[in-house]
Amino acid sequence: MDPKSTQSKVSFYNEISLMMFGFGDSHKPNPETVRLVESITIKQLKLIVQEALKYVQKNVLEGEELLFLMRHNKHKMRRFVQYLHNKETKNMLSQLQSNITDVDGDKPKCKLLKFIEMIDETGEFTDLNEVDEIKFQRQLRADRISQALDEQKYLEFCKARSVSFSSKSTVRNMEKLRLWIDPNNEVVFKPEALDVLSYYAYQTVAEITDYAILVRMDGKFSMDPMQHLTGSYYNATMFNGDFRFINSTGSNPDYSRVYSGQPPISVNEIKEVMRRVYMPQAGKLNFGGKVPETHFLFAL
């Protein structure tokens, strides 16, 4: 099969659209915006793969090389460690539900966790006691959005929040992810590498959406004296005024339309995010401090 033909057929448009809704965009994100986010995500994944290949002898990625790239950001590494712990817990519960009785024995530690512990000289990568501010802000935003939804919309919102690049059939989606990243089959991806890449892709979409909301709120509330308060940037920006409550007719409004002052995240807002990411001095998306060399790679 022609690799170009394969690449053109592989798309995560539907998944990304739902993810953006789950992260705080409109109930029906702008199709052009979703396509742009998909384009940015795949470009960043390919750059990450190319960076990781610098640490291997052959074009074989085991997963550790991908994690090594994240070593400069302890907060993101901790988030990935929590992801691995949650995944292990989920697998254990699945085994219990399947009446598999040998789950009480000592199990070998996850290969990726072993590697993280090996490079964790100070223990800060695996210290999960510190509050994850970004995760907290996302949860706060989701909570505020959910309070404005009726039962049907809330169920749709929960479904959207459960979508990821590996939320369906794992084997099928991992193969789809591999074809998306490497249509020419030039790299050998071990299962752990694809797992890391699916996580990186998910976090990339999350951060782009986060930053797009920051850009919108920055433009709207630049003169707001309360904007420094925790969570002010992460309000349910699409639900204001009457749209927070059941209206006089007894039904909630069509959240796919948002309201006239808050359309779905636009292409221009995503472009502004990228402008600030590539030129941090133009905005405050990096939240101060020295900008790492990989600052333009959202997942790292």
Q: What is the pLDDT of residue 38?
A: 97
pLDDT of the residue at 150: 83
User: Considering only CA atoms, which of 266, 223, 257 is closest in space to residue 238?
Assistant: 257
Which portions of the chain are predicted below pLDDT 50? 1, 5-6, 103, 225-261, 286-288
User: What single string gives the DSSP state of each residue in 252-291?
Assistant: ---TTS-BTTBPSPPHHHHHHHHHHHHSGGGSSTT-SSPP
Predicted confidence at residue 107, as pLDDT, reads 57
**Nearest CA to 26 among 139, 199, 160?**
160
Stated pTM of the model:
0.79
pLDDT of residue 148: 80
pLDDT for res 243: 34
Helix ranges (DSSP H) in 53-169: 64-68, 74-97, 111-119, 133-146, 151-161
Cα 199 to Cα 299: distance, rounded to the nearest angstrom: 8
pLDDT for the residue 214: 86
**pLDDT score recorded for residue 292:** 56
Note the pLDDT of residue 291: 55
Reported as a single tens digit per residue, the pLDDT across 205-250 is 999 999 998 888 777 655 554 444 434 433 333 333 333 333 434 4
Residue length of the chain: 300
- Position 116 scores a pLDDT of 92
pLDDT the model gives residue 6: 47
Query: 């072993």: which residue's tokens?
Result: 114
